[in-house]
């Protein structure tokens, strides 16, 4: 999995550089692992602007502009919140491209409606935001996070027009 994440991050940095895009992350359940994957690539400083680990809802609201109405109506693990996180970090940092994650990595925290492994990913490229619901099989917290990071990077790569 680590090799796959590294390969994806390298390809993404190359595409971001080729397109002249700046990139940022807004991460909850992945705890900065997407930013870590990207910043492990030599030359990433050409494209990586920064990231926010917005684990608590108050941070999502204060730093990323996530609506209290969305949090109340849909919960932190929702399409609306992931979308607002991506839009918020892109606006706050003034970047062209952003990825956001909000989910339940486990082992606890799941509910029948949102079991462990439920993750929303939002990818913003230019003015377009796409979202994707992941329903990971619970293979433990560390594996759940790695799977989420890999899938988020695949989604970003596809949105950037890469070969994934």
Instruction: Supply the pLDDT for residue 2.
Output: 85
Q: If pLDDT is split at 50, 70 and 90, which confidence band does 164 have?
A: low
Q: Residues 97-136: pLDDT tens digits?
A: 999 999 999 999 999 999 999 999 999 999 999 999 999 9
Which CATH number characterizes residue 100's domain? 3.90.950.20
- Is the torsion defined by CA of 1, 136, 87, 111 positive or negative? negative
Whether the Cβ atoms of residue 45 and residue 119 lie closer than 8 Å to each other: no
Instruction: Supply the pLDDT for residue 103.
Output: 97
Whether residue 164 lies inside any domain: the answer is no
Whether the Cβ atoms of residue 54 and residue 64 lie closer than 8 Å to each other: yes
Whether residue 140 lies inside any domain: the answer is yes
- pTM (predicted TM-score): 0.96
Asked if the model's pLDDT at residue 73 lies above 90, the reply is yes
Higher per-residue confidence, 138 vs 57: 57
Instruction: Supply the pLDDT for residue 44.
Output: 97
Higher per-residue confidence, 144 vs 162: 144
Instruction: Supply the pLDDT for residue 64.
Output: 98
Number of folded domains in the chain? 1
Supply the DSSP string of the chain, one letter for each residue.
-HHHHHHHHHHHHHHHHHHT--EEEEESTTTTHHHHHHHTSTTGGGTEEEEEE--SHHHHHHHH---HHHHHHH-SSSHHHHHHHHHHHHHHHT-SEEEEEEE--SSS---SSS-TTEEEEEEEETTEEEEEEEE-----HHHHHHHHHHHHHHHHHHHTT---
Asked if the model's pLDDT at residue 147 lies above 80, the reply is yes
Q: Residues 26-71: pLDDT tens digits?
A: 999 999 999 999 999 999 999 999 999 999 999 999 999 999 999 9
Structural domain harbouring 12: 2-159
Token representation of residue 114 = 């949102």
Determine phi and psi for 160, rounding to 5 degrees: -80, -5
Whether residue 90 lies inside any domain: the answer is yes
Instruction: Supply the pLDDT for residue 61.
Output: 98
């Amino acid at each position: 999995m680590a090799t796959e994440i590294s390969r994806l991050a390298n390809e993404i940095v190359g595409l971001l550089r080729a397109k002249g895009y700046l990139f940022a992350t807004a991460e909850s359940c992945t705890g900065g692992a997407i930013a870590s994957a990207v910043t492990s690539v030599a030359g990433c400083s050409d494209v990586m602007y920064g990231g926010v680990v917005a684990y608590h809802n108050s941070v999502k609201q204060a730093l990323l502009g996530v609506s209290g109405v969305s949090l109340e109506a849909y919960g932190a693990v929702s399409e609306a919140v992931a979308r607002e996180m991506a839009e918020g970090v892109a606006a706050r940092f003034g970047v062209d491209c952003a990825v956001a994650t909000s989910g339940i990595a486990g082992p606890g925290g799941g509910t029948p409606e949102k079991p462990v492994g439920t993750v929303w990913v939002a990818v913003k490229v230019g003015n377009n935001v796409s979202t994707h619901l992941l329903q990971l099989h619970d293979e433990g917290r560390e594996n759940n996070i790695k799977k989420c990071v890999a899938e988020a990077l695949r989604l970003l790569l596809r949105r950037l027009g890469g070969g994934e």
